[in-house]
Amino acid sequence: MIIPVFNCRDTIDEQLDGLNQQTYRPVEVIISDNGSTDGLSEHIANHPLRDKLSMKWVDSSQLKGSAYARNVGAKNAVGELLAFCDADDVVKPTWLERLVDIAPDYDLVGSTAEARTLNSGYPWRPPPPIELHCTTKNYRHAAGFSLGVWPDVYRQLDGMNERFGASQDVEFSIRAQKNGYRLGFLFEELVAYRYRTTFRSLYRQGRGQGRASEQLAEEFGPDDFPAMSRADWVRRFTYLAMSNPGLPIWLTGLNRREWMRETGFSIGKYKARNAVKRQRGGQDNKPA
């Protein structure tokens, strides 16, 4: 298993406990550290589960981003299947066993997650119907919190795209399928997913995802990622202005946390789109 990490000492023990409870054995856990400053390396070096999980800490601080951390982790892994999860979530005991069960029939595999266990404020962000989990217009994708891929497939695809600051799992999954690789997906809640809670972290998460959505559109085109029209932009920013946190939730219908994430997403997407237009000399090749 490969875990990309950055300053996650406060949450990683829950994930390591989850990995220690896996029904599939043996396991190897690669902690790929993207430049933590919270004493994580010392924590891992003295961790009580270090030997049970064949835990290995590797330095991936040369380039910021979880894509690079995942790639460095993959290069240091020796297992037959690369399995990726995140440091702030908790995998269920059968997570790895279920991915291994279906992996022989596919090139990469993934699963859904649930947000009830780790989020006391769960109702503020209801998930989509399970059949819509991890979907884009034309593709389903594996998520970084639950992704399995054969090492030779990962190498042939040159790993995660390190230009992406977010949504590398989406880009990787779609690129794999466009190159003829098969994705297997389990509609099983094999991971407990943790929401970010502070306004700052939610805004930054949304902004990164907004920027990545424009990168995905540039990478795969409007057939897979349709462009927003000017009217769409006006409606989006008008809605955010009218549902701002200064107004009561009963009136706006949008929780303050979700508003912060949606605002970050819109700003990140808008700035990324304008940056692309500037690179083209002011020409926007996407449909209005």
Q: Which two tokens stand for residue 104?
A: 């022989």
Average pLDDT over residues 119-142: 78
254 pLDDT tier (thresholds 50, 70, 90): confident
pLDDT at 201: 92
pLDDT at 133: 82
pLDDT at 281: 65
91 pLDDT tier (thresholds 50, 70, 90): very high
- What angle separates helix 66-76 from helix 168-178, to the nearest 10 degrees? 60
> Which of 21-35, 100-114, 130-144, 204-218 has the least mean pLDDT?
130-144
- What angle separates helix 199-220 from helix 256-279, to the nearest 10 degrees? 40
pLDDT at 286: 45
pTM: 0.90
Note the pLDDT tens digit of each residue in 161-198. Answer: 999 999 999 999 999 999 999 999 999 999 999 998 88
285 pLDDT tier (thresholds 50, 70, 90): very low
What is the distance between the terminal CA atoms of the chain, rounded to a whole angstrom?
Answer: 44
Indicate whether 263 pLDDT > 70. yes
The residue ranking higher by pLDDT, 103 or 197, is 103
Note the pLDDT tens digit of each residue in 230-251. Answer: 898 899 889 888 888 777 766 6
Q: What letter represents residue 39's amino acid?
A: G
- CA nearest to 90, candidates 57, 113, 124: 113
Average pLDDT over residues 27-42: 95
As a whole-number percent, the residues of the chain with pLDDT over 90 amount to 69
Residue 251, Cβ neighbours under 10 Å: how many?
9
pLDDT at 283: 54
The residue ranking higher by pLDDT, 64 or 123, is 64
Residue recorded with tokens 């589960």? 49
135 pLDDT tier (thresholds 50, 70, 90): confident
Average pLDDT over residues 65-89: 96
Average pLDDT over residues 269-278: 82
Alpha-carbon span 207 to 217, nearest angstrom = 16
Indicate whether 121 pLDDT > 90. no
- In a 13 Å sphere around the CA of 37, the CA atoms on its Cβ side amount to 0
Indicate whether 228 pLDDT > 80. yes
> Which of 50-54, 149-153, 270-274 has the least mean pLDDT?
270-274
